[in-house]
């Protein structure tokens, strides 16, 4: 869904961010500035110090371990089950009503319950993220596979392909664009749930760093952690889009650029 502006107006894109940074820098230097107005330069310095001391990497790694673990489990289950359900009617009749019922329900409501079940450590967060990621990946994979052009399936059948061959050589490749849409929504959701869970209760991780900094009124530290969170969310999304382009480029020249 990328929408490109014409080239000679590109510079306008920088206006608002630069204006905001300048306003913050200027506002933070005033006498009557509230304490949470921290100069962007100060934030950059703190971020640099945190990175140099290794503290930032420790928390970022703790966060990433959880989010990637949860994302991998949830996405594997969601994509796998979604694709299999598309070709097995009894399985689909069982899972489809359950998933469409639970899809609009905010799964994070279960977070306190998961914490009492699995403790304050990694397990409760990984489970919560996996659950949240499962739904968009399942639904997109299932409907992606269901909307595969029937003629391709008929053609394959006509040429004597077995059911397994049809599944792996026709259905799965043809549903990839939609599968990637599901993975992208799941990835974004995994970070929201992760940082929320770390803010609610955790001993480390970037979400916890934000809360610790807030409690000790170290606003520069808080902003640095927030910037770290933003960079992680942004970086992983771009990495997934690059992967999508690489995988889809050969099969769907039109689809790959899209999104």
Looking only at residues 171 through 210 of this chain, which bind other proteins when binding is defined by CB under 8 A?
171, 178, 181-182, 187-188, 191-192, 194-196, 199-200, 206-207, 210
Nearer to other proteins, 30 or 35 (CB): 35
Q: How many residues does the chain have?
A: 259
Token pair recorded at residue 6: 């014409």
The verdict on 75 binding other proteins (CB under 8 A) reads no
The verdict on 90 binding other proteins (CB under 8 A) reads no
Q: Which of 26, 48, 154, 168 binds other proteins (CB under 8 A)?
A: 154
Cα(66)–Cα(129) distance, rounded to whole angstroms?
8
Q: Which of 22, 45, 57, 93 binds other proteins (CB under 8 A)?
A: 93
Q: Which of 43, 79, 83, 86 binds other proteins (CB under 8 A)?
A: 86
The verdict on 108 binding other proteins (CB under 8 A) reads yes
Coil, helix or strand for 104?
Answer: coil
- Is the CA virtual torsion 34, 60, 16, 237 positive or negative? negative
The verdict on 105 binding other proteins (CB under 8 A) reads yes
**Three-point CA angle 156, 182, 174, nearest 5°:** 15
C-alpha 103: how far from chain center: 17
The verdict on 36 binding other proteins (CB under 8 A) reads yes
Nearer to other proteins, 6 or 159 (CB): 6
Q: In this structure, are residues 177 and 252 in contact, taking their beta carbons and an 8 Å threshold?
A: yes
């Amino acid at each position: 869904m990328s929408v490109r502006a014409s080239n000679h107006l590109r510079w306008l894109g920088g206006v608002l961010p630069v204006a905001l940074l300048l306003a913050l820098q200027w506002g933070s230097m005033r006498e009557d500035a509230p304490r949470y107005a921290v100069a962007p330069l100060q934030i950059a310095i703190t971020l640099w110090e945190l990175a140099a001391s290794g503290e930032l990497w420790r928390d970022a790694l703790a966060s990433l371990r959880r989010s990637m673990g949860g994302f991998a489990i949830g996405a594997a289950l969601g994509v796998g089950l979604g694709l299999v359900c598309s070709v097995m009617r009894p399985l689909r009749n069982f899972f489809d009503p359950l998933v469409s019922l639970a899809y609009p329900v905010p799964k994070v409501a279960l977070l306190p319950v998961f914490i009492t079940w699995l403790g304050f450590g990694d397990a409760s967060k990984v489970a919560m993220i996996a659950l949240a990621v499962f739904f968009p990946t399942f639904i997109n994979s299932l409907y992606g596979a269901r909307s595969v052009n029937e003629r391709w399936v008929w053609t394959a059948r006509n040429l004597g392909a077995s059911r397994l061959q049809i599944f792996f050589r026709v259905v799965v490749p043809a549903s990839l664009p939609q599968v990637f849409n599901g993975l992208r929504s799941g990835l974004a959701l995994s970070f929201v749930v992760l940082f929320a869970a770390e803010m609610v209760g955790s001993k480390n991780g970037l979400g916890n760093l934000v809360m610790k900094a807030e409690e000790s009124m170290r606003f520069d530290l808080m902003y640095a952690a927030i910037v770290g969170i933003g960079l992680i969310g942004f970086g992983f999304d771009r990495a997934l889009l690059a992967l999508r382009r690489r995988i889809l480029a050969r099969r769907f020249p039109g689809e790959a650029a899209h999104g």
